Amino acid sequence: MSGSATQAGFYYQNNVAALKILDMLRIGSPIRTVELENPDGAKHIDDIIVHYTDYSEYIQIKWSADDNSNYALYGLLYTTPDDKKPSLMKQLATGFLSLSTKTGAKIISLVRCLTGER
């Protein structure tokens, strides 16, 4: 995907990442590193990876222009015959399973941003 649709997704992803990085700069913060767009770190849950002292958080950012998007409950759980990708929940589960060889506790976060009409 290219163009403004992709950039809109990165806008929200970058804002969430910036908040994590600002938190990392706080004295005594448990955040050690913040990674962006690292598919080698975790497949399907690679938008932002935050490594804390004793666990890691894998954050996937999704955005939509309205509430009728494919991120409604049905779109999270199921795919239609013309979809080329598995459902979002299946992608998140696959990503979580890919972390089984990594040590430490893991948290998977899905952030949905609703942009409204442009």
Give me the domain span that covers residue 107: 4-114
Q: In CATH, what number is assigned to the domain containing residue 94? A: 3.40.1350
Task: Decide: helix, strand or coil at residue 82.
Answer: coil
- φ, ψ for residue 115 (rounded to 5)? -90, -25
Kindly provide the residue ranges of all beta strands, DSSP E only, lying in the chain, ordered along the sequence.
Answer: 31-36, 48-52, 55-64, 105-114
- pLDDT tens profile 39-83: 787 777 878 889 999 999 998 887 766 555 556 666 677 776 667
* Whole-prediction pTM: 0.71
Rounded to whole angstroms, how far apart are CA atoms 9 and 65? Answer: 10
Residue 1 is predicted with a pLDDT of: 45
Looking at per-residue pLDDT, the higher value among 78 and 88 belongs to: 88
Number of structural domains (the chain) is 1
Residue 41 is predicted with a pLDDT of: 79
Task: Decide: helix, strand or coil at residue 110.
Answer: strand
Q: Is the pLDDT of residue 24 over 70?
A: yes
What does the block give as tokens for 11? Answer: 């806008």
Dihedral of CA atoms 29, 106, 16, 8 in degrees, nearest 10, equals 160
What does the block give as tokens for 68? Answer: 């009728």
